[in-house]
Amino acid sequence: MNVYDSERMAEALSRDGYRETTDIAQADLVILNTCHIREKAAEKVYSDLGRIRDVKDARKRDGKETVIAVAGCVAQAEGREITTRQPAVNLVIGPQSYHRLPELIARTETTKERIVETEFPGDEKFERMKTPRRVSSPSAFLTVQEGCDKFCTFCVVPYTRGAEFSRPLAKLEAEARELTAAGARELVLLGQNVNAYHGEGPGGRSVGLAELIRSLANIDGVERIRYMTSHPRDMDDDLIAAHADVPQLMPFLHLPVQSGSDRMLAAMNRKHTAAEYIDLIARVRAARPDIALSSDFIVGFPGETDQDAEDTLALVRAVGFAQAFSFKYSPRPGTPASSLEDQVPEDVKSERLQRLQALLDEQQSDFNSRCLGDVVPVLFERRGRQPGEFVGRTPYLQLVHAAADGDLVGRMANVAVTDVRRLSLSGVVQSGVIAAA
């Protein structure tokens, strides 16, 4: 979501003549787009700001001004605290106010005032960020939903991103057409709780994620569709069916479970049990047997016992994941879990994380190994580090490296998988690039 937001901010500012640079010493404006989900990410903001202030000071000695803006969820959560802790910051802007970014930057430049903008003006943001979409990769993000009403007890998202909001179907179709016209072949539908999508459809009727996917699949040039991130409670039958009958919908599902212990799931307010999750996965697999599964896990939630940690390992063994993200529980200010008494010691969290990651790594290697010798369609997204090397993704979201004489970026090609590592595959491009539909 932050990558998408950063792209949109760059697009909006390009109207005022801004261009992106990779050299911070050249930058008249630096926007730090921040994440508040775990303490480590949030604390990094202040050390990064210290370094950016040094650049600003050095540029000042050369007679150049630098505007520093802090965006994202740390901006939303900490607001004025940021300008107090780092006075070199000119603008603090929360995710719901990005449509006002160009105007606020212009204002801080002319009046020199420090601005903190963390209002929740509701749904006007998308309406007012109307700059034409640029496409830097054949795989393009499309935000369909924002915010979350689930209130998992560990999570800041409902506080920083606000209540659930779904964009209307017609607007998403229009943006998807713009993206394909600009060269996108894959759409990644984004939302903090994307499968809770319920946008306004024809005649004011409410449309779910499955219907949205079916509509987007009808647009010329949309060859691949993905979505993330989902909640198990919102995985309805229609969405499961879409995995069976929409060919463009890729066989990959990121469905965070967080824990395999019912006691922990209840304390986390996840509103489902381990058995319900496993049953849900069985139904998804019945619809799409080859689907690659992904999840998020939290170890060391307050009160987690050795047995609870074992239950999580048992769930992982029962499901079998193609990839997953796992984190140590990080207490976040203002969330219910942060004030629970029985916090788990750091060394216990580390040990449990290590065991979980060892098992998940093994499953990822196994999943990739099963592709050895297969021929898979790969959408190439960028050049690799080696000359003549290109990097793309399989339908199962695995990274693939392959060499070619011409330019493969933006092309779909069949690749015979010849080498398999845990994090990527390599292979040989088969003759006959698959042309755009």
Residues that bind ligand 5AD (CB under 6 A): 37-38, 154-155, 256, 258, 296, 298, 327, 329-330, 332
Distance (Å, whole) CA 340 – CA 293: 32
Question: Residue 382 is encoded by which pair of tokens?
Answer: 């960028």
* Binding flags for ligand SF4, 359-398, as an x/- string (CB under 6 A): ----------------------------------------
Nearest-CA neighbor of 289 among 194, 379, 392, 396? 396
The answer to whether 157 contacts ligand SF4 (rule: CB under 6 A) is yes
C-beta of 256 vs 384, nearer to ligand 5AD: 256
Restricting to residues 220-249, name those near ligand SF4 by CB under 6 A.
Answer: 231
User: Which of ligand 5AD, ligand SF4, none binds 166 (CB below 5-8 Å, type-dependent)?
Assistant: none
The answer to whether 36 contacts ligand SF4 (rule: CB under 6 A) is no
User: Which of ligand SF4, ligand 5AD, none binds 151 (CB below 5-8 Å, type-dependent)?
Assistant: ligand SF4
175: Cβ–Cβ under 8 A, 6 or more apart, which residues?
A: 133, 142
CB of 233 to ligand SF4, least distance (A): 9
> How would you label 314-341 residue by residue, b for 16+ Cβ within 10 Å and e otherwise?
ebbeebebbbbebbbbbebeebbbbeee
Rule CB under 6 A: choose which of 90, 193, 295, 363 binds ligand SF4. Answer: 193
Contact 373, 416 (CB under 8 A): yes
User: Which of ligand 5AD, ligand SF4, none binds 180 (CB below 5-8 Å, type-dependent)?
Assistant: none
User: Which of ligand SF4, ligand 5AD, none binds 330 (CB below 5-8 Å, type-dependent)?
Assistant: ligand 5AD
Q: Can you list the pairs that 207-212 forms with residues at least 24 positions away whose Cβ atoms lie under 8 Å? A: 207/169, 208/236, 208/238, 208/239, 209/144, 209/239, 210/236, 210/238, 210/239, 210/241, 210/242, 211/169, 211/238, 212/144, 212/169, 212/172
Distance (Å, whole) CA 12 – CA 98: 9
The DSSP code for 186 is E
C-beta of 148 vs 291, nearer to ligand SF4: 148
User: Which of ligand 5AD, ligand SF4, none binds 148 (CB below 5-8 Å, type-dependent)?
Assistant: ligand SF4
Report which residue's Cβ sits closest to ligand 5AD: 296
CB of 43 to ligand 5AD, least distance (A): 13
Max Cα separation, the chain? 65
Q: Which stretch binds ligand SF4 (CB under 6 A): 146-154, 237-245, 341-349, 375-383?
A: 146-154
C-beta of 109 vs 296, nearer to ligand SF4: 296
Main-chain phi, psi angles of 111, to 5 degrees: -90, -15
Q: Which stretch binds ligand SF4 (CB under 6 A): 74-82, 126-134, 151-159, 406-414?
A: 151-159
Distance (Å, whole) CA 45 – CA 49: 6
The answer to whether 160 contacts ligand SF4 (rule: CB under 6 A) is no
The answer to whether 158 contacts ligand SF4 (rule: CB under 6 A) is yes
Q: Which helix (H) or strand (E) holds 310?
A: helix 306-319
Distance (Å, whole) CA 260 – CA 390: 38
Main-chain phi, psi angles of 363, to 5 degrees: -65, -35
Q: Which stretch binds ligand SF4 (CB under 6 A): 91-99, 111-119, 145-153, 424-432?
A: 145-153
Q: How many CA atoms lie within 13 A of 412 on its CB side?
A: 18
C-beta of 302 vs 384, nearer to ligand 5AD: 302
C-beta of 66 vs 229, nearer to ligand 5AD: 229
Question: Residue 19 is encoded by which pair of tokens?
Answer: 């261009």
| Other Cβ atoms within 10 Å of 146 Cβ, number | 25
What beta strand segments (E) does 65-161 contain?
Answer: 67-71, 91-93, 115-117, 139-143, 145-146
Separation in Å, CA 260 to CA 216, 228, 296, 301, 426: 35, 21, 11, 12, 34
Q: Is 252 helix (H, G, I), strand (E, B) or coil?
A: strand
C-beta of 150 vs 177, nearer to ligand SF4: 150
User: Which of ligand 5AD, ligand SF4, none binds 329 (CB below 5-8 Å, type-dependent)?
Assistant: ligand 5AD
How many residues lie near ligand SF4 (CB under 6 A)? 10
C-beta of 166 vs 192, nearer to ligand SF4: 192
C-beta of 73 vs 91, nearer to ligand SF4: 73
CB of 192 to ligand SF4, least distance (A): 5
The answer to whether 150 contacts ligand SF4 (rule: CB under 6 A) is yes
- Helical H runs in 169-235? 169-181, 209-217
User: Which of ligand 5AD, ligand SF4, none binds 272 (CB below 5-8 Å, type-dependent)?
Assistant: none
Contact 411, 437 (CB under 8 A): no
CB of 355 to ligand 5AD, least distance (A): 17
- Binding residues for ligand SF4, per CB under 6 A? 148, 150-152, 155, 157-158, 192-193, 231
